[in-house]
Structure formats: structure tokens, C-alpha cells
Amino acid sequence: MELIWVFLFLLSVTAGVHSEVQLQQSGAELVRPGSSVKMSCKSSGYTFTSYGINWVKQRPGQGLEWIGYIYIGYGYIEYNEKFKGKATLTSDTSSRTAYMQLSSLTSEDSAIYFCARWGLIFAMDYWGQGTSVTVSSASIRNPQLYPLKPCKGTASMTLGCLVKDYFPGPVTVTWYSDSLNMSTVNFPALGSELKVTTSQVTSWGKSAKNFTCHVTHPPSFNESRTILVRPVNITEPTLELLHSSCDPNAFHSTIQLYCFIYGHILNDVSVSWLMDDREITDTLAQTVLIKEEGKLASTCSKLNITEQQWMSESTFTCKVTSQGVDYLAHTRRCPDHEPRGVITYLIPPSPLDLYQNGAPKLTCLVVDLESEKNVNVTWNQEKKTPVSASQWYTKHHHNATTSITSILPVVAKDWIEGYGYQCIVDHPDFPKPIVRSITKTPGQRSAPEVYVFPPPEEESEDKRTLTCLIQNFFPEDISVQWLEDGKLISNSHHSTTTPLKSNGSNQGFFIFSRLEVAKTLWTQRKQFTCQVIHEALQKPRKLEKTISTSLGNTSLRPS
């Protein structure tokens, strides 16, 4: 779903902002065997006649089952053989609503039915919330509500709401509270006839607060139960986060982070480490008890990180959980006070040069120099093999500063195996040389996923814009090229963003690449390919996705 949201954002940039796409389905139904039922799916936020609507069935504990499809603009309808004669699909363009009627109902038709839009990438990209249909001769029975509360109070408390003996499903459970710190979980219903379900809310903090569990059950049941949570006494630990020094002359220098937790409840502490708000999972921290004082204790957690991670100026966080409350301590590298503001960057080989062109190179960029006079840039290699730059560029800028670029050819095998390199910048006026080290990025490798999108329907200029989304890859070094009928397109015709970190639990990166082509080329059934090169891909480290037009329809295929 994240992929679709991002792509829709791109469409809004190039073709005007659109409303949020929504599919709103009709409510739950209780029907008798042998009768029929008609459910609706009302759309908003897009051109109704430009898309199709699928209908999907899901019985409790089973997978999804496709029923049929209606293409609104052409009135084309297709059914799963199993549902021919059972389901009838219709639509009303004036109300932007699709309908499905099921006839001759049996207990096997008791299920949740979903409508889903058939999107631009030939997938069901937006779904309705589902309509529950129960086929039974039984009568409606409203639920009984029971609030649940633990006997012992802690800083983090989980409350429950038991909803039982109702028919049919579903019920809607909503929590209300004056607390800002809360999270809720609703569990699936149990029982073949009379249903039972539970909902829980977890809250943390010191103050008293009220929680209200509100339950609705069609057609008219609305009731609430309120639970009072009283304040509890919290023993707050004290956190201190320290780090070791780095060795600028080492190729694989390690930085130690130490998180000291003083005065926590004995046997009630857990520690995790974050890098830029994402949990570090590929390096194991060592956590040990260092002192006991009655019911209180002190603990130290140690984490080793690479100098490259430390020099990236990321923020490292020690996250401590005690009595259900999270405590955070942060640290990061302070900026270097380099001579006269001189800054040095090391740029790794591109995957294109490393895996396809066979000519990988490192780039050492030195900026904000007064002049290039007497500046000396040299290179070291961890294997002690003599190395020297093949190219040296000097550039004078409008702000009266000078930059120097030194390029070092490297052996692909050495780089892939993790050998380190150093760029040393020196000048008679520097108090000490500037040393920058670089090696292959450590961490768990993840191959990219590649998706190519056709031009937006609303695009009316003489050009057509193709978009390539590459996501969930690690490390961030990646190369993207475009091809037309197998021939390389000049870089001047396409642009690619810098890698951005993905949201959520995924620790990978994503980028977009945008290609503009003439409208005439797009309509001539030309094939356009987004080619991605990344070290986590299988040999030859390359993945291609192709898009083209065929008889007026867009077709996608992997290469």
C-alpha cells in the first residue's frame, strides 16, 4: 500500500492534486437461507468510469476468493466460473456506486465480501472495508459487555473489553480516553453461532484517567463501559550515554557506545538501540547488571558500531523500558573543526562502474579551500598495495573558494571483499592532516523491488512521463538507467532522486527515477526499460522492468 500512496503523490505533482481514494461499502447483513442480498460499494476521489471494480469473498479462517470484475467505463463484466449464476455485478455511474447481488443463499455464502479498485498497475490498489453477510435462520441477539482491568497497577497497563453472546457479527469496538498515550488492539471474533470478541487498550503514564469501551451492533445496539485507571508510583531510572574516541588512522575503527542505567527496579529493565529512530538488529549489544542496592539496580549496555556509521552523523539512541515506560538517551558525532572550514567527502564506487563497466573508482572531494596551492591529496589502501590517483580536478567557485576532486581506481575484488581505503588531505598551514576512511557499507543486504508506472491519464502535453520506483534495498549505493527498445537513453532525459530511508520497520531505502519521452514515441509501441544495478541482486547484479503500449493498452513485464 505504501507503494501506491507514493505513486499517487507523484501523480498529484505532475497532474494536479486529487482527493483521497475511498471505497465505502454497505453495512452487515443477516439473511435467511434461500433469499438474496444486494451490497453496494460507493467510490470517491477518482474518475469512476476509468477503473474497474473487483469483488472478493473471504470466509472465516480461509483465503481470498475472486468473484468477478466489472469495468465501469465499458460495462465489461467477467465472473469466476464458480460464481456464475450466484453473483450479479452492476454499477450506477450517477452515484459512482458498484453493486453485487448474491442469490439462492446458503450457509456457505456466510463471509465478508470486499470490493477493490482495479488500478493503474493492474492490481487491486484500493479496498473497501468489507461487508459481512451471515446466512442463518437465527434472530439478532445483542452482546453483553464486561470491562476487564488488572489487579495490580503499573506504569503501563492493559485494559480489556469482553463482548460476548451476540449474533450475527460483526460488532464495532471503539475506545475513548483523556489519555494521549494509548494503543488499541481488536481481536477476531470466535464462535460459529453466538460470537465472542475482545478488545484491549494499553496506556502508560503516571496520572489517573478514564477509558470508555463503546460497542455498536447493527441495527441499533449502542452501549459503553467506563474503567477508571488510578495513578501509580513510578521509580524513574537515570540514563547516561557515553562513547569512545575514534582512530582516524585505522581502516576498520570501532566505536563503543555505553548506556548506563542507574536506579531502576531490579529485574525490570530492557534495553534496545536505535540508529536514526530505527532499531539496530544486525549488531548484538551486551547488557550486564553492574550494581544492586536493595530493590534497585544499575545496568550497563554496550554497543559496537563502525567508525563509518559514527562518521555518518546519525543519531544513536539507547532506549530503556522499565515499569512499562520508555526512557531515551541520545548521542551523535560532533562536527569536526577542520582547518578554515575545509570539508572532505569520500564517495564510493557506483554499482554501474563496479558490476557493469568494470572500472570502479573512489572519489575524494575537498571543498572550501582558499586555493589549490600546496594542497597535497594522497591515498592509502588497507592491503598496503601502492595506490595513486588517476585523475585530479580543481574548480574555482563564485564564493572565492576552491574544490579539489581526486579519483582513485580500485580493484573490484578488493572493494567487494571489504578492504578499506583512506584519503589524506594535507597543507603546510593545517595543524594536522585530514584523514577520511571508507569501506563497503556493513549490514544485511536487501535486493531492490522495482515498479514502473505509465504516464498519468491526465497528462496532456507533447511529452509523456514514466516513473520507476525502486524500494526496500540496502545498502543505499544503486545505479539506475533507462533504455528505449534495448538502447541506452542519455542521462539528460531522465532524473533520479537521492536514496531516502523507508518509513516503518523496514530499514532499506527507496528512490524514484523519472523519464520524459515524446508523446509520439509512447504511442508508437516503443518499449521503455528501467534498469537497476545493485549488489544485493543476483548476478549480473541487474534487474530490468519494461513498459510499453500495445493496441492502446499499457503492458508491463519484467526483463
Q: How far is CA 283 from the centre of its chain?
A: 21
- The CATH architecture assigned to 17-135 reads Sandwich (2.60)
Instruction: Tell me how far apart the alpha carbons of residues 487 and 502 are, in angstroms, rounded to a whole number.
Output: 31
Q: Phi/psi zone of residue 323: left (φ > 0), alpha (ψ -120 to 50 degrees), beta?
A: left
Which residue, among 438, 460, 330, 454, has the nearest Cα to 381 in the 3D structure?
Answer: 438
Q: What per-residue confidence (pLDDT) applies to 249?
A: 62
The contacts of residue 401 (CB under 8 Å, 6+ apart) are 367, 368, 369, 370
Fold type of domain 144-229:
Immunoglobulin-like (2.60.40)
User: Cα torsion for 15, 548, 50, 132, to the nearest 10°?
Assistant: -110
Q: Mean pLDDT for each consecutive 10-residue tract of the chain (559 residues)?
A: 40 45 90 94 91 92 91 87 94 94 93 88 84 87 86 72 85 81 77 78 70 86 83 79 76 83 87 89 84 88 86 88 86 68 89 90 92 91 82 89 93 89 90 88 88 81 88 92 92 90 77 90 87 92 86 43
CA distances from residue 142 to 27, 107, 112, 361 in whole angstroms, order as listed: 16, 21, 20, 72
Q: Name the 3-class secondary structure at 171.
A: coil
Q: Please give the pLDDT value at position 120.
A: 63
Instruction: Report the distance separating Cα 361 and Cα 389, nearest Å.
Output: 10
Helix/strand number for the chain, H first, E second: 5, 43
pLDDT for residue 549: 76
Q: What is the pLDDT of residue 301?
A: 94
306 closest CA partner among 416, 420, 414? 420
Q: Can you point out the beta strands (E) in 269-372?
A: 270-275, 278-279, 286-293, 296-306, 316-322, 325-331, 343-347, 361-369
Q: How far apart (Å, rounded) are the C-alpha atoms in residues 1 and 54? A: 17
The Cα–Cα gap between 24 and 41 comes to: 6
Residue that is written with C-alpha cell 598551514 in the block: 429
CATH of domain 339-438: 2.60.40.10
3-state secondary structure of 17: coil
pLDDT value at residue 86? 93
| Superfamily (CATH) of domain 238-331 | Immunoglobulins (2.60.40.10)
Does residue 117 contact residue 21 with C-beta atoms inside 8 Å? yes
pTM exceeds cut of 0.75: no
- DSSP letters spanning 467-514: EEEEEEEBSS--EEEEEETTEEPPGGGEEEPPPEEPSTT---EEEEEE
Q: Which is nearest to 327 in space by CA: 401, 236, 416, 242? A: 236
427 phi, psi to nearest 5 deg = -160, 145
Count of other CB atoms within 10 angstroms of residue 81: 6
* Half-sphere exposure of residue 301: CA atoms within 13 angstroms, side-chain side: 22
As a whole number of angstroms, the distance between CA 479 and CA 352 comes to 6
CATH number of 449-558: 2.60.40.10
Domain-wise residue ranges, the chain: 17-135, 144-229, 238-331, 339-438, 449-558
One fold for 144-229 and 449-558: yes
Q: Report how far apart, in Å, the C-alpha atoms of 341 and of each of 49, 264, 338, 344, 423 are.
A: 60, 44, 5, 10, 17
List CB contacts of 301: < 8 A, sequence separation 6 or more: 258, 259, 261, 271, 273, 285, 286, 287, 288, 318
At residue 308, φ and ψ (nearest 5 deg) are -65, -40
What number of other Cβ atoms are within 10 A of residue 65's Cβ? 15
Cell of 172: 464495532
Residues 6+ apart with CB under 8 A from 224: 212, 213, 214, 215
Q: How far apart are CA 504 and CA 490, in angstroms?
A: 35
Closest CA to 92 of 26, 38, 19, 40: 40
| The pLDDT of residue 261 | 93
Cα separations in angstroms, 249 against 424, 435, 492? 10, 7, 40
Radius of gyration of the chain (CA): 31
Q: Which three cell numbers stand for residue 335?
A: 562536527
